[in-house]
A and B are shown apart, each in its own frame.
Chain A
């Protein structure tokens, strides 16, 4: 990544916590890791200290690789930057994406470079990773 890109990134960078570090570590490697409960077999996203479905502490991380497809489950188009760093991204498409292979998992992100009018519920998208610092990357989406 160029020096120029690095200083330009003014948006919040995902904070790694004791419960979500495997997710963001995988994102930095351009991979998707999801937390799965071994007791009830459900996926937890966002991840937590235990299963949000059944409370079990028997949770593990599953790597789903780099080829992640989904469809738009819902979205908003934001015309005001409610947070710093988004001034140049207006209109900003914030979407919740349903994973094609795991419909129970929904992941929020922005749909990059897609005109808002091309987005509707059901629109096909694929995950891409935006390198935001030397060692951090943020999962995003683009029209498939």
Chain B
């Protein structure tokens, strides 16, 4: 990508209600989130001329969302994608705005992730599953049908090679659960987790307990991207995009050939180059957390903790609000809610805006935030945001 540093901004964020059983279609959730983001930006629906979304066959189309907001946009785009797609679509939105195809783009993710189609699987024909995954006939006959098992294979090896322990995973979980206790909208608000409790919880699929899995929820989130120039006319505090990067790596996750590299390893140098900063400049983080271990691996990949000392870094409490790198400060996908990466985007925008100023949720003096996405070990995206 050409140098787009600080030329674009996120000007609105919004969400629907979060629940275990929304009782409505993803389209209703998407419209609620879109209206909330539009209101947050101080815009009107007709100001949005691009609508984009990602899903895995469980959502509603951008065409529908635009239609029921009463808008006839120039651009509607939907992609099949997992948890790095927010960054990929923001990059697309920037491309559209750069080339004059759109001015203001709304990106959303809507899912009945708990009551509808669950990412964690269940209820599918196993023949269908074998066909659905590349190399599926080499996984499914062995009982390996869940992301917890696939990512566990990466985690076991990484932990073995790096001396990471179950306690280290536990520190990721307890830090995020602690944040959820300050967030009344978090799924696990009122359900604190101590390290002792964590260590007594049985494995579902080693090294993961139920606390290491993200929670599935019914929810939609939306964000609005426009040029920094245009953002000046808006009513919200724009959050500038300093840099972003996203990519695939050679090793397909399902090939299991190389469990030692992940796409984030390749995204990181591109990201810091684009943003013109280094990891030490980052004040607050939203790290994709479909599993606790994924956080540890990304802290290492993005240079956010000293190489080889990621475990000590989290054990020292550095992910907590008063630590060196407050992370997933709304509770993250482990304990706030799960919209395939998007709720963590909303939170980083709010932190960098200082929207929680004067409360016990605001990270003091935070100017620069990182937000990472992870669609699996083989595809990742990330962005750096500033006020």
Considering only residues 237-259 of chain B, those with a C-beta below 8 Å from chain A are 250, 252, 254-257, 259
A129 at the binding interface (Cβ < 8 Å): no
How many residues of chain B are within 8 Å of chain A by beta carbon? 41
B273 at the binding interface (Cβ < 8 Å): no
Q: Which residues of A have CB within 8 Å of B152?
A: 76
Q: Which of B68-76, B138-146, B307-315, B329-337 contacts A (4 or more CB under 8 A)?
A: B138-146
Chain B 343-359 per-residue mask, 1 if CB under 8 angstroms from chain A, else 0: 00000000000000000
Q: Which residues of B have CB within 8 Å of A121?
A: 156-157, 160
Chain B 253-270 per-residue mask, 1 if CB under 8 angstroms from chain A, else 0: 011110100000000000
Q: Are A14 and B141 in contact (CB under 8 A)?
A: yes
Q: Which residues of A have CB within 8 Å of B316?
A: none
Q: Are B205 and A76 in contact (CB under 8 A)?
A: yes
Determine which of A17, A74, A120 lies in contact with B154 in the assembled complex, contact meaning CB atoms within 8 Å: A74
Instruction: Given A11-B143, A45-B255, decide whether A77 and B154 contact each other with a Cβ distance below 8 A.
Output: no
Determine which of A46, A82, A107 lies in contact with B143 in the assembled complex, contact meaning CB atoms within 8 Å: A82
Name the CB-closest residue of B to A96. B256
Q: Are B156 and A74 in contact (CB under 8 A)?
A: yes
Q: Which of B20-28, B78-86, B90-98, B125-133 contacts A (4 or more CB under 8 A)?
A: B125-133
Chain B 140-165 per-residue mask, 1 if CB under 8 angstroms from chain A, else 0: 11111110110011101100100000
A89 at the binding interface (Cβ < 8 Å): yes
Q: Are B137 and A84 in contact (CB under 8 A)?
A: no
Q: Which residues of B have CB within 8 Å of A108?
A: 138-139, 142, 144, 256
A65 at the binding interface (Cβ < 8 Å): no
Q: Which residues of A have CB within 8 Å of B206?
A: 76-79
Q: Which residues of B have CB within 8 Å of A107?
A: 138
Q: Are B144 and A73 in contact (CB under 8 A)?
A: no
B276 at the binding interface (Cβ < 8 Å): no
